[in-house]
């Protein structure tokens, strides 16, 4: 069970964008330089966050990415599921309905209790990630972080 | 983020073993036939449950697998982590320490808040799975299930 490596990238890039002055954007190249990441692949991943509604992309010579909503309304779950999708890691292939022990379709009208418990765990994971917004992340950073981030981002091309 | 397909197999096989009469064992071949699964691969996976202490294996002509502990002491977490390991799906490669935005090692003495929140979510998932034992699963099955399971298992080779 593994999340893509780019999950870390996107969580950090979104946190960085949340620290920029309102109205400021950052390009994929700037963010790539800021974290020393492969720019083309990062750009693709940032587009996934645009599609999911967490980021907005503007075009043109000064175009780039910015948060599409207030930082308090973008949760870690939004970002993680934009990268990896919302599917549960547990796949139930209904093996209870096959082989010598096969239950009949009538006996399987209810979800298998094991699939149900695995889904409960996935929901607990989702709830935990949904409980933290980018604003919460920013609040946990040192007070000097946003100014420092803006300064160093301004220097990146 | 995906758990191995065999996660479903092992959850069901452990549930089946929990329904056998005390002292009774079932072979990998019997369990494979019961759920129509590839026997050799299933046997390998059952051994992972033996190594983790959830199952015990006995050898000899009437040998096979049985629970190593009471069903109330084997949780879904034991089984899932025996199959997939206990690592968090989120990998933090400390990108905060690289690129133009790199923080100094002194600034990174504390765990990154993003890694911390991802770890919290994994813990929520683990807690949810640890809260359900095989005894809880059995209690959610129809009252006729154990007798049926024993009968059909006895017919499998």
The predicted complex's ipTM stands at 0.94
Residue partners of B75: CB distance under 8 A and separation at least 6: B129, B130, B131, B132, B133, B134
pLDDT one-digit tens code per residue, B12-36: 999 999 999 988 999 999 999 999 9
Low-confidence ranges of chain A (pLDDT < 70): 156-157
Best residue of A33, A41, A99 to probe chain B, by most B CBs closer than 10 Å: A99
Q: What is the DSSP string of A42-106?
A: HHHHHHHHHHTTSEEEE-STT-EEEESS-GGG-BHHHHHHHHH-S--S-----GGGSSTTPPPGG
Question: How far apart, in whole angstroms, are the C-alpha atoms of residue A49 and residue A134?
Answer: 14
Interfacial B residues in 85-104 facing A (CB < 8 Å): 87, 89-93, 95-96, 98-102
The average confidence (pLDDT) of chain B is 93
Measure CB to CB from residue A92 to each of B8, B76, B90 and give the nearest one: B8
Say yes or no: A1 contacts chain B, CB-CB below 8 A: yes
B124–A122: do the CB atoms touch at under 8 Å? no
Q: Give the lowest-confidence range in A56-60, B64-68, B133-137.
A: A56-60
- On chain A, the residues whose CB falls within 8 A of the CB of B75 are none
Ramachandran category for residue A5: left, alpha or beta (phi over 0 → left; psi -120 to 50 → alpha): alpha
Alpha carbon B121 to its chain centroid, in Å, reads 19
Tokens of B79: 């089984």
Say yes or no: B75 contacts chain A, CB-CB below 8 A: no
- On chain A, the residues whose CB falls within 8 A of the CB of B122 are 125
Question: How far apart, in whole angstroms, are the C-alpha atoms of residue B69 and residue A152?
Answer: 57
Any bridge partners for residue B56, and if so which? B66
Question: How far apart, in whole angstroms, are the C-alpha atoms of residue B45 and residue B89?
Answer: 21
| Burial (0-12, 13-18, 19+ Cβ within 10 Å), B143 | exposed
Residue whose entry in the numeric block shows the structure tokens 């299930």: B145
Tell me how long chain A is: 157
B95-118 mean pLDDT: 92
- pLDDT at position A23, please? 84
- pLDDT at position A146, please? 92
- pLDDT at position A123, please? 98
Say yes or no: A125 contacts chain B, CB-CB below 8 A: yes
- On chain A, the residues whose CB falls within 8 A of the CB of B120 are 128
Return the higher-pLDDT residue of B61 and B106. Answer: B106
Best residue of B114, B129, B147, B155 to probe chain A, by most A CBs closer than 10 Å: B114
- Whole-prediction pTM: 0.93
Alpha-helical regions (H) of B85-133 = 113-130
- pLDDT at position B157, please? 64
3-state secondary structure of B65: strand
- pLDDT at position A157, please? 64
3-state secondary structure of A109: coil
């Amino acid at each position: 069970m593994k999340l893509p490596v780019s999950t870390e990238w996107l969580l950090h890039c979104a946190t960085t964008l949340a620290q920029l002055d309102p109205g400021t954007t950052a390009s994929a190249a700037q963010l790539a330089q800021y974290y020393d990441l492969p720019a083309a692949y990062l750009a693709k991943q940032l587009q996934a966050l645009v599609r999911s509604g967490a980021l907005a992309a503007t075009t043109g010579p000064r175009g780039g990415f910015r948060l599409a909503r207030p930082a308090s309304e973008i949760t870690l779950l939004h970002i993680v599921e934009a990268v990896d999708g919302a599917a549960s890691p547990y796949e139930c292939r209904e093996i209870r309905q096959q082989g010598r022990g096969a239950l009949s379709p009538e006996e399987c009208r209810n979800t298998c209790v094991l699939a149900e418990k695995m889904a409960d765990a996935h929901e607990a994971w989702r709830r935990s990630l949904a409980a933290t917004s980018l604003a919460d992340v920013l609040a946990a950073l040192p007070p000097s972080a946003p100014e420092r981030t803006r300064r160093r981002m301004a220097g990146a091309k």
